[in-house]
Structure 1
Amino acid sequence: MKIFYGVQGTGNGHITRARVMAKELYAAGCQVDFQFSGRPAEQYFDMEVFNGYRVKTGLTFNTHKGQVSYLKTALEASPIRFVRDIGSLDLSAYDLVISDFEPVTAWAAKRQQKKVLGIGHQYAFGHKIPRAGGDPIADRVMKYFAPADIGIGLHWHHFGQPILPPIIETPELPQQVQANKIVVYLPFEDGDEVVRLLCPFENFEFHVYSPQPAVSKYAHVQCKPLSRDGFQRDLYDCAGIISNAGFELASESLQLGKKILVKPLHSQMEQISNAEALKQLGYGHTMFDLAPQVIEDWLHNPHSLRVTYPNVAKIIVQWINAGMPAMDTEFVERVWESVEVLQVKH
């Protein structure tokens, strides 16, 4: 089977999910061409698994100090280039088109009357899941940004809806966890402000990852450039993570049994809804500003949860090879039967 797979590259979560899908698609003998959009080509890293991928400008959201600006997003968009990219993408040779919320691929397929399979967290918002921070603009963006004919929505819990668990690696669990080690990933916040926020907590060791690392003069606050391998090593044996409320990183953290503190992007409905879902499920803690007291309370709380998820990527690839039959209630329930939630204390 020959597949064209478009991936939204604005956040690393989409790329992380695509890495897992790529391995399972290759293992099933599929030929896959990947396209990424949403950030400059030079800002992608650790992309070897995607075998000569292509990059388009696409559409992305402008953020400043932890908040989405729809006005700046509109002003900085390149509609002419976007339309040109859609028109120049020929999908006629492919048996299947997949979009992980990537708009060029989704709209090119729609223009060529090719069926699109949408895989990603955003497609869960077509169902009754926890939602917060919505507005008419956000709702229209979610619906029309990267439309799909068939949408496989992913979430941490099914909420009684026909959605599947997250697509994540299923690694061996760490034998030892450093109780005072915290990974910090707040790429949409001011790096220097994050360092100042963390410096009073001298009994903890912070590993701060960001696109443009800040400078820290504190031994217990280490600032590091983005690196897939380095980040995974630190995530593996840390006790907890402080991050924005992206879906994929929280999913990995739950799978590894890390305690979670999220600060959602202001005016970003998906992240605010993710924070609400974590709160409702009891899977994590939230803060809506960089609040020292909230961080201190969370740091001294040793409890977390481990949520074990199946190999959802493999399940989806098997479903694709079976001809993509309707995902009925029995199918969805069978996938969720293997999910377990366990208490962890560091």
Structure 2
Amino acid sequence: MKIFYGVQGTGNGHITRARVMAKELHAAGIDVTFQFSGRPADKYFDMEIFNGYQLRTGMTFNTEKGQVNYLKTARDAKPITFIKDVKSLDLSGYDLVISDFEPVTAWAAKNRKIPVLGIGHQYAFNHNIPRKGSDPIADQVIKYFAPADVGIGLHWHHFGQPILPPIIDTPETPKSIIKNKIIVYLPFEDPNEVVRLLSPFKNFQFHVYSPEVVPSQFDHITYNPLSRDGFQKDLYDCAGIINNAGFELASESLQMGKKILAKPLHAQMEQISNAAALQQLGYGHVMNDLDAAVIEHWLHDNHAVHITYPNIAKTLVQWIQDGMPKMDADFIEDVWDSVEVLQIKQ
């Protein structure tokens, strides 16, 4: 079998999910070509597993000071380049086209009348799940940004809908944690503002990962460049994570039993909805703005949720090899029956 797999590269969550899928696809002996779009070529890192991936410009959203800026997004869009990329993408010889919310792949396949399998968190919004911050633009983005003929939506809970658990690595649960060690990943916020916000909490060690590394004059705040391996090592033994409300990192944190404080991007329906879901499920705390009082309360709360998710990547690869039969209620129920949720004290 030969698969063409498009991945949205704007945020690291899509790429993290693709890494897990790549490992299982390669293990199954499937020939897969990955394409990424949405960020400059020099901003990708730790991409070895994708074996000679392709890059396209694609489309992305412009963020500024913790919120989506639709005017700058429209200004920076390159529709002529996008159309050229769609028209020039060669999908001949592939048995299946997959899109993780990647628009060039999805639209190239749609224009050639090739069925597209969508795999990703965004496809869960086609179902009745927690949804906040919606507006006409957000609704159109979900519907038309990367359309799929069959969409496999992913979420932390099924909400009574035909969706699956997250696609994440299933690492060994840490035997111990460093209770004052906190990971901070707020790539869409002003890094100097993040330093100012964290500076009063000198009893905690903050390991900040950011696309822009700024000097910190505080011993308890360390800035690190983006690194998959470095981040995973710090995540392993930390107590909690402060992050924007992206789906994949919260999934990894829940899988490892870390407490979560999420700050959703303003004017970004997906992140606002993710924050609402975390609160509704009792899986994490939320601050709508960078708020020192909320952070202080969260830092001293030792409650966390540890969720054991199955290997959904392996399940999906086997399902693909079986010819992608319709996922009936029994299939969905069997998958979720293997999920274990524990309330823990750190």
Whether these two folds match at TM > 0.5 is: yes
Q: What is aligned with 1:195? A: 195
**How far apart are 1:217 and its partner, in Å?**
0.5
**How far apart are 1:4 and its partner, in Å?**
0.2
Q: Distance in 2 between matches of 1:341 and 1:213?
A: 36
* Per-residue deviation, residues 132-191 of structure 1 (Å, max 9, x unmatched): 000001000011000000000000000000000000000001111000000000000000
Q: Distance in 1 between matches of 2:213 and 2:125?
A: 33
Q: Distance in 2 between matches of 1:151 and 1:197?
A: 40
Q: Distance in 2 between matches of 1:294 and 1:215?
A: 25
Q: Distance in 2 between matches of 1:61 and 1:283?
A: 27
Equivalent AA in structure 1 for residue 160 of structure 2: G
Q: Distance in 1 between matches of 2:215 and 2:183?
A: 16
* Pairs aligned (count): 346
Q: Percent identity?
A: 74
Whether 1:328 and 2:328 are equivalent positions in the alignment is yes
Q: What is aligned with 2:168? A: 168
* Per-residue deviation, residues 271-312 of structure 1 (Å, max 9, x unmatched): 000000000000000001000000000000011010110000
* Per-residue deviation, residues 51-91 of structure 1 (Å, max 9, x unmatched): 00011000000000101011110110000000000000011
Q: What is aligned with 2:248? A: 248
**How far apart are 1:328 and its partner, in Å?**
0.5
Equivalent AA in structure 1 for residue 142 of structure 2: M
Q: 3-state DSSP class of the match of 1:241?
A: strand
Equivalent AA in structure 2 for residue 19 of structure 1: R
Q: Distance in 2 between matches of 1:213 and 1:273?
A: 29
Q: What is aligned with 1:4? A: 4
**How far apart are 1:343 and its partner, in Å?**
1.6
Q: Distance in 2 between matches of 1:256 and 1:7?
A: 25
Q: What is aligned with 1:131? A: 131
Q: What is aligned with 2:292? A: 292
Q: 3-state DSSP class of the match of 1:98?
A: strand
* Per-residue deviation, residues 176-207 of structure 1 (Å, max 9, x unmatched): 10000000000000001000100100000000
Matching of residues 1-346 of structure 1 within 5 Å: 1-346=1-346
Q: Distance in 2 between matches of 1:285 and 1:219?
A: 26
Structure 2: which 5+ residue stretches go unaligned?
A: none
Q: Distance in 2 between matches of 1:173 and 1:128?
A: 32
TM-score, normalised on structure 2? 1.00
Structure 1: which 5+ residue stretches go unaligned?
A: none
TM-score, normalised on structure 1? 1.00
Q: Distance in 1 between matches of 2:71 and 2:146?
A: 20
Q: Distance in 2 between matches of 1:213 and 1:156?
A: 31
Q: Distance in 2 between matches of 1:345 and 1:225?
A: 31
* Per-residue deviation, residues 8-54 of structure 1 (Å, max 9, x unmatched): 00000000000000010011110000000000000000000000001
**Which of structure 1's runs of 4+ aligned residues deviate more than 6 A?**
none
